[in-house]
Structure 1
């Protein structure tokens, strides 16, 4: 097994473990809400009327979590098909929204906000390798999470830079490190080396804005 295959399998392993944790959380919330409803009904036949509001709240929680579970399953299915094609047309902003939904838990565990955005709300179509794009986005996120403290935010923004399509990874926060500390920490992280190698495979260029907590993934 070569190094590239090992990296790809490790990436899929981390993503799969992350999503199964999310599914377990969803099922736990549903189980808790269903148990509360069962307890209310067990009190007496009239309990449902007395605790109608709590009963309705539990029903709404179950419905919301089922919807969340269905959305996560759909997104995971889409992600699982990323290796099917070496090249595919994607809308960059929507792809980043999809990625952030799949990986939000990694940021949440560190009390960091993760979100995707579009420059000027502009749709940008690209033709690229979907799997490698997911991997460079993941390594970008992983590197930032290794440096940023809690209560910071990470934004992935689809932009046009120098007439080229790019992803801007912008970080901010009151307790955020200085740009010098930020980039020193990034370059010392294991994820940064993986990011550089995978960006090269994607034929993409990394460009750092050392005056701010920001770097670009320029897609060629």
Structure 2
């Protein structure tokens, strides 16, 4: 049964990065289909590839799964034998809570600091709402890292919750957000992943531009 992941531009598509990073990190084989964002090609093709007309979307044989978190959950059951979440019940509950908060929240952070791998740090330009989101992310990361045992990620080993926060790590580095030592080390651990380096190299090689994310 063939598996295909439909994504957007690697330079910009934070939602696409999440399941792509999880699948690649755990060595799940898949074919990649990239639809260039904000183009006629995207609007012409996306309806046939994604029920929501958004990316990402995963095709596993005849099954189509859309939404980044749903794809990660499906991958966890289909290929990872549960390794995407911590083994302990309480840690698993915390990891799911953090992932869900990222999935549904932080609107100011998303809107004012869009993901852009090419962006270079500059003076902060975001407002108080985005700064509040930044503080909350650091508070959350610090709490989760304080309970981690072995490993450099939020619960030790890399998992779904880290995939969900990977785009924030790109944002924090690209916008030069000031981080405490624990959070700074976590951002660097995400960027050091071979799968993350592969995604970033491909994104930086792209020439397409999404003007809304370049402002």
TM over 0.5: no
Please identify the structure whose Cα radius of gyration is greater.
1
Q: Which has the higher helix share?
A: 1
Structure 2 length-normalised TM: 0.30
Specify which structure has the bigger relative contact order, considering alpha-carbon pairs within 8 angstroms and separated by 6 or more residues.
2
Q: Which has the higher strand share?
A: 1
